[in-house]
Amino acid sequence: MKIKINNRPLILVTNDDGVTAKGIDTLINVVKVFGDVVVVAPGRAMSGMSHAITTRIPLYLRTVKKEEGLSVYKSNGSPADCVKIAVNYLLDRKPDFVVSGINHGSNSSVSMHYSGTMGGAREGTLFGIPSIAFSLLDYRADADFSTASYYVGEIFRWVFEHGIAKGVSYNVNIPPGDNLKGIKICRQAKGRWVEQFERRVDPRGRDYFWLTGYYDNHEPDATDTDEWALANNYVSLVPCSVDATDFESVERLKENGLESVPSHIASV
């Protein structure tokens, strides 16, 4: 049965750290002053799930808490699953906003491709809903979100008043500490994670592998990227498009004759 929502703005909240994470509690407290909040979040940590969806096992949805203006549910699905089941099944109307986070840890640069936090926001964007992913560069379970909550509130207030372009979600990363210089609108830094698999042996003598590694910034001197902003104590905001087309390559392929390859039509 779909839950009934009044005429106040409806804000859907999800995350990838799980419904009991400190970051999602902070996010709920920030956005609930703007409207009614429905939370659908994983029952356990789903970090690194990107935009994964569940197709091979049943999805469950369980009520965690219900009070005036706030309903909290947990699911065994990914963040993207949580947004899908909320919009397609749980709610009686499409949310006005989707917010994901506040993630414990960075989702800057190429990390956004792996991020379940971004996956939840991106799914909202696919539904045509203004969507934002928030992350704090602190992996600790008891991280201090006090300064982050201020910037989350100010960015959400701006989106509440101005909206977001269709097909775009905002990836917001916030440095730790309380002496931040402000907000920088950035592009995603070019770089990659250099993975290293550490070989270990379990108590039964079987080999297993633990993923480690480090981030390699390919443009450390660029001053218009999210990595530069974060290193210089700014909040970074990167507008991310769901359209992955590289339009320069479209033109290059056309100009260099790939479309002129003869068709292969079987003769009759």
Q: Which residues pair with 247 in a beta bridge?
A: none
What is the per-residue pLDDT for 120? Answer: 97
What is the per-residue pLDDT for 155? Answer: 98
What is the per-residue pLDDT for 15? Answer: 98
The stretches of 46-191 forming alpha helices (DSSP H) are 79-85, 111-114, 116-126, 146-162
Pairing of strands 168-174, 207-217: unpaired
Asked whether 131 and 122 are in contact (CB, 8 A), the reply is yes
pLDDT tens for residues 123-149? 999 999 999 999 999 999 999 999 999
Q: Which positions of the chain have pLDDT values less than 50?
A: 1
> What domains are defined for the chain?
10-189+222-260 (3.40.1210.10)
What is the per-residue pLDDT for 257? Answer: 87
| Long-range own/partner contacts, residues 242-246 (CB < 8 A, 24 or more apart) | 242/122, 242/125, 242/126, 242/167, 242/168, 242/169, 243/167
∠ CA 82-243-52, nearest 5°, is 30
